[in-house]
Structure 1
Amino acid sequence: MWFLYPPQFWSAFVPCATQNKDAVQLTLEQIDVIKRLVDKYPQYLQFATSVTDILEAHSARPRKIASLIGIEGGHSIANSLGVLRSYYQLGVRYMTLTHTCNTPWADSSNEAPVADGLTEFGEKVVREMNRLGMIVDLSHVGENTTRAAIRLSRAPVVFSHSSVYSLCNHKRNVPDDIIQSLKENGGIIMVNFFPDFVKCAPNATISDVAEHFHYIKRMIGADYVGIGGDFDGVNRVPRGLEDVSRYPELFAELLRSGQWNVQELKNLAGLNMLRVMRQVEKVRDEMRTNGVEPEEHPDSPNDNGNCTSNAFYTEYV
């Protein structure tokens, strides 16, 4: 039944135009929308922040779709580790380090690199995400920043909606050397369905999408791949994958190829992500047991034009 009830990450996304402006407020409002959506449809959805929560939703009668929160774009933290920690407390369990814009501490695949990897503050962001138990997502992220994050992260990383560069040489896709590094890291690539990333063309088919799954499986195995359809973020979809109701058609396509068995398809449908989440939670627990303190950030980027005060004061009455 993992085919029909995979866990769902709802993206609290705000555009890059909000960077250095009201990104935090708008992100909080998006988190509020997600929580109200889940509350409005309790017969179908159940809020989740952990592997235990996901399994409870899946074993409920009737079954529920485990609903988690992710943030797509590091600009949403406004260069503040305190904001990052607050998002975790609100239930956020992954963050994409960048969207289509650079942050002062990490490079996007969409802009010329500035950090050329991760700055010292960017490294603190990744370490703090590991300490909190928040998944590091590398879709949209520049190649050198991606490589730096994989080297640094103690927990598995994910590409929440990216495809294979060797099959479509789009800057949003993942090169072979990074795919190879994922196996050692224990992370996963969740294949995106957008035709521009699948075929580097306006049109694609379900068979074209299947080729990306086959390629990753041949290179590093079926345990390191997932589904990142991105239906809410694209304006064109492949023929045969018009919406989530067509997921069974994708599994049938993979099964017909003779390259996948049923257990591998269950892993693809959600169990691989559960493995990643378990390891992220394990790293979090180990860091807590070892007394790892929250990252401090006196060196956080502060020349970004934010309309914020640099001073803290206490008023005594």
Structure 2
Amino acid sequence: MLAVSLLVCATCWSVSSGEGSYMARALRLMSETPLIDGHNDLPWQLRKQFNNQLDKVDLNTLETTHTNIPKIKTGRLGAQFWSAYVPCESQYKDAIRQTLEQIDVIHRVCQKYPNTFMLATSSQDIVEAFSHNKTASLIGVEGGHSIDSSLGTLRTLYHLGVRYMTLTHSCNTPWADNWLVDTGSEPSQHNGLSPFGKNETGGIVMVNFYNDYVTCSHKATLANVADHFDHIRKVAGAGIIGFGGDYDGVARLPEGLEDVSKVPHLVAELLRRGWSDLEVKATLGNNLLRVLKRAEEIRDSLSKLSPDDVPIPYDEVKNSCRTGDAYSNSGAFPSLSITALFLTLPLQTLILLSAP
């Protein structure tokens, strides 16, 4: 009986020791390469819970969100794209105003907690923030409805620090169909993208952690998320993968990934599954840095070109909430695609956040 007990204990120690070695390795890699997460909705929670009144919240002690400063530190979050999200119901109404307010609150969070966050607008900023043990804070706009089909608005958002915009959220825009079209619950208007909306490839797939996307059910585990990483690596290689957790933007998260502090456990799981250090570093942040640097290179090469100022045809956007004064002498599609704009005075790169 004693021998059996000793054998069982030795087995338990071996398993625990093995898991510990993967975690130690994960933390080492995360100390060398910044974990760059592509999507966090903490700004939306600040709007919902506090109406963006930062004097009424302390991110050091906040416990009603998936994200706070202690969780960020434990999760080794090197860089975060904070989402400037506004609901689809705001389209054609006050979407731009609300989006500007969300961009403003991201700036103010960085100003309120300068020892934790550093506003970042470039790949170099991410590297610099990481070297100072701060979380590089970038801005992403969640949904094309936030620009009201205006390239001038897009350029303005870029100047305010925005570095990506997803084409849609859960509503069609006048130039792109949203994901609900694929479910059959909404009709297609553009067969994907209109001529105004067409983009080139070469981005990065940042895996969403939302249970309903991971398993198509209310329940999911860390292992299920790791399965998605494995699938993308098998299909397209580790060179296009990133993290896009969607913390504070979803109602359910996998067991083992309940908040931002748990992400190192996912990194350890990838290592346990045989991912190399090089592949893990690529997925942590090097893939995103590569894409962002390339976009910056193209931006600089096109910097002498004039931005496109031909609006989308009024027939494509007219509705009861929109005036048509600016369209009196226009009507042609833009001569440059929106991709060219993204790269000229751009939101640098279009990074689509999705599960495979």
User: Is the structural similarity TM-score above 0.5?
Assistant: yes
Per the alignment, residue 280 of structure 2 pairs with 265
Pair 1:311–1:189, CA change in 2 (3 A): closer
Structure 2 residue runs without a partner (length 5+)? 1-30, 36-75, 181-185, 329-356
The separation in 1 between residues aligned to 2:124 and 2:320, in whole angstroms, is 41
Letter in 2 for 1:265: V
Q: Secondary structure in 2 aligned to 1:6? A: strand
Shift of 1:242: 0.8
Establish whether residue 115 from structure 1 lines up as the match of residue 184 from structure 2: no
The separation in 2 between residues aligned to 1:311 and 1:297, in whole angstroms, is 9
Q: Secondary structure in 1 aligned to 2:205? A: strand
Establish whether residue 8 from structure 1 lines up as the match of residue 83 from structure 2: no
The separation in 1 between residues aligned to 2:311 and 2:327, in whole angstroms, is 15
Pair 1:248–1:311, CA change in 2 (3 A): closer
Establish whether residue 256 from structure 1 lines up as the match of residue 272 from structure 2: yes
Per the alignment, residue 230 of structure 1 pairs with 246
CA contact 1:5–1:58 (8 Å) conserved in 2: no
Q: Does 1 or 2 have the higher relative contact order (CA < 8 Å, sep 6+)?
A: 2
Per the alignment, residue 135 of structure 1 pairs with none
CA contact 1:121–1:297 (8 Å) conserved in 2: no
Q: Secondary structure in 2 aligned to 1:277? A: helix
Tell me which of 316, 319, 329 is aligned to 1:304: 319
Shift of 1:55: 1.0
The separation in 1 between residues aligned to 2:326 and 2:224, in whole angstroms, is 55
Per the alignment, residue 78 of structure 1 pairs with 148
Letter in 2 for 1:196: D
Per the alignment, residue 237 of structure 2 pairs with 221
Tell me how many residue pairs correspond in the alignment: 250
Tell me which of 204, 208, 214 is aligned to 2:224: 208
The separation in 2 between residues aligned to 1:118 and 1:255, in whole angstroms, is 38
Letter in 2 for 1:69: I
Structure of higher CA gyration radius? 2
Structure 1 residue runs without a partner (length 5+)? 124-148, 154-184
Establish whether residue 195 from structure 1 lines up as the match of residue 195 from structure 2: no
- Write out per-residue CA displacement over residues 199-250 of structure 1, whole angstroms, 9 at most, x where no aligned residue: 1111011111100000111111111100111111111110111111111110
Per the alignment, residue 292 of structure 2 pairs with 277
CA contact 2:209–2:225 (8 Å) conserved in 1: yes
- Write out per-residue CA displacement over residues 41-63 of structure 1, whole angstroms, 9 at most, x where no aligned residue: 00000000001111111112xx1
Pair 1:204–1:296, CA change in 2 (3 A): same
Instruction: Provide runs of 4+ in structure 1 moved above 3 Å.
Output: none
CA contact 2:196–2:312 (8 Å) conserved in 1: no
Letter in 2 for 1:193: F
Per the alignment, residue 174 of structure 2 pairs with 104
Pair 1:44–1:112, CA change in 2 (3 A): same
Q: Secondary structure in 2 aligned to 1:102? A: coil
The separation in 2 between residues aligned to 1:222 and 1:122, in whole angstroms, is 28
Pair 1:302–1:310, CA change in 2 (3 A): farther
CA contact 2:144–2:173 (8 Å) conserved in 1: yes
TM-score, length-normalised on structure 2?
0.67
Tell me which of 113, 129, 135 is aligned to 1:65: 135
Q: Secondary structure in 1 aligned to 2:206? A: strand
CA contact 2:207–2:244 (8 Å) conserved in 1: yes
The separation in 2 between residues aligned to 1:312 and 1:230, in whole angstroms, is 38
CA contact 2:78–2:134 (8 Å) conserved in 1: no
CA contact 1:6–1:269 (8 Å) conserved in 2: no
Q: Secondary structure in 2 aligned to 1:38? A: helix
CA contact 2:210–2:245 (8 Å) conserved in 1: yes
Shift of 1:292: 5.3
Query: Superposed, which structure 2 residues align to 1:163-182 within 5 Å?
Result: none
The separation in 2 between residues aligned to 1:251 and 1:31, in whole angstroms, is 30
Letter in 2 for 1:201: S
- Write out per-residue CA displacement over residues 231-280 of structure 1, whole angstroms, 9 at most, x where no aligned residue: 1111111011111111111011111112x012211211111111110111
Per the alignment, residue 109 of structure 2 pairs with 37
Identity %: 51
Shift of 1:309: 5.4
CA contact 1:121–1:299 (8 Å) conserved in 2: no
Give me the CA root mean square deviation.
1.8
CA contact 1:14–1:23 (8 Å) conserved in 2: yes
